[in-house]
Structure 1
């Protein structure tokens, strides 16, 4: 069942340009040693397909290092997504005696990238519907009017913000209107280097119970965005609104807002607890 779930996650992250003819490499682990896996880019998400394997990494401050341990049990696989969207998949096997404790994994071993986009059909072009890092910009007067109102409003929640590398991401307001949740953000650049926005994504995360804990993440796909910038020049800031279909969260869940820089590594993860989402304006 776990293996099926992991394969589903690969499909869920979609748009993967995979080398289907390439056999997956096998990694070995046991309960005695930490097997170190060094990836080319910092790890954003990792999950194993069976409970007898545990893959741990720094979730608060993304790093290239992940640690693998195992107890005797079934054969399974490991799926890892790095902060540039690159995807890695390996077969996992338990082995009592290990001949290798450290793996330096190359970018060439990636099976694809979650940001890979197929060509837009002529019909989509004629409908003026474009895809920009999973944010669908729909020509809707109602959405646009609501977004403009929210941008101009002084109403706000208790602000949630995070600053790193001279870049500040701030969640200023959440508004519930007509079965949609509107998120108002402000992105500031106090550095002297331009910030090119690759994508802004929202994930609902559920913490798994048990001795070897992991974090399950589900991507929330936006239905509309208004004035989302592609570049923030040094010393500048921009406010924008992104709309989603209404959702709520249980106490054991949290929202992860993932801001990713194009052609750079100034990535920011902003965590928001469920109460903020469940009590919008």
Structure 2
């Protein structure tokens, strides 16, 4: 989990902050249906979002002033952008079905700081990105290894012709790997929307007093866009390391993208 934010942490450690401290982050709303455009006063040098639910695209080959943001339903996150003049901009990201604004024109006064002088920022950013790439390769290799083996079913849930199964839950380093299997016998193709993993803390008999704590997904491997009727798909989700305590359950829930069907399962302690 630490390596996912390595680039962000390194950048913040090399920033001179403006004024008397960092200002409150501006909130930008995005969804999967429209592009939200961000225009910066100087070309974008590097940018990274805090979670893959938010996708920020910009021209990596030729530095330009424009970046485009899209999102899928999920938890709020953040966006960090560095422009060619060394200015650093940070934003709070939130998913919204209806967007209040489609275009944001960022002023230079909105930066939260400037990269320290005499730092080899290009090498710094390259090392951070290289580290992130290596970590993603580690995730991919381990996920691939898990899918090569047929595992037993830990928990299975059936609903309206859909079957969601947790085949294995393994710990590796600072992450937990969940092998999931979804089978569709409903007669209608199931297009995957949002997948959520959370820990439920509270009495099993008195759910009204329970607390549901969402877990951010670190990485997903071979998560399908849809499961055609009469078929099944196996994929892996990687989450930050957790250990279920007394009276705690793990909840995995899956929503249909363009429909009302949902299916969820509980892993009980």
TM-score by length of 1: 0.50
Does residue 145 of structure 2 align to residue 149 of structure 1?
yes
Matched residues in 2 for 1:219 and 1:116: separation? 24
Equivalent in the alignment of 2:259: 264
Equivalent in the alignment of 1:125: 57
- For the residue of structure 2 that corresponds to 1:125, the secondary structure is strand
Aligned length: 163
Taking structure 1 as reference, are residues 208 and 160 closer, same or farther at Cα in structure 2, changes over 3 Å only? closer
Taking structure 1 as reference, are residues 222 and 117 closer, same or farther at Cα in structure 2, changes over 3 Å only? farther
Per-residue CA deviations over 1:15-63 (Å, capped at 9, x if unaligned) read 897xxxxxxxxxxxxxxxxxxxxxxxxxxxxxxxxxxxxxxxxxxxxxx
- For the residue of structure 2 that corresponds to 1:228, the secondary structure is coil
Equivalent in the alignment of 1:181: 176
TM-score by length of 2: 0.52
Matched residues in 1 for 2:204 and 2:154: separation? 30
Does residue 246 of structure 2 align to residue 251 of structure 1?
yes
Does residue 135 of structure 2 align to residue 203 of structure 1?
no
- For the residue of structure 2 that corresponds to 1:250, the secondary structure is coil
Matched residues in 1 for 2:206 and 2:156: separation? 32
Deviation at 1:134, TM superposition (A): 4.3
Deviation at 1:173, TM superposition (A): 0.6
- For the residue of structure 1 that corresponds to 2:213, the secondary structure is strand
Is contact 2:255-2:261 (8 Å) kept? yes
Per-residue CA deviations over 1:185-214 (Å, capped at 9, x if unaligned) read 001101221101111111111126999942
Deviation at 1:132, TM superposition (A): 5.0
CA RMSD of aligned residues (A): 3.7
Equivalent in the alignment of 1:191: 186
Find 2:155's aligned residue among 156, 160, 170: 160
Deviation at 1:226, TM superposition (A): 0.2
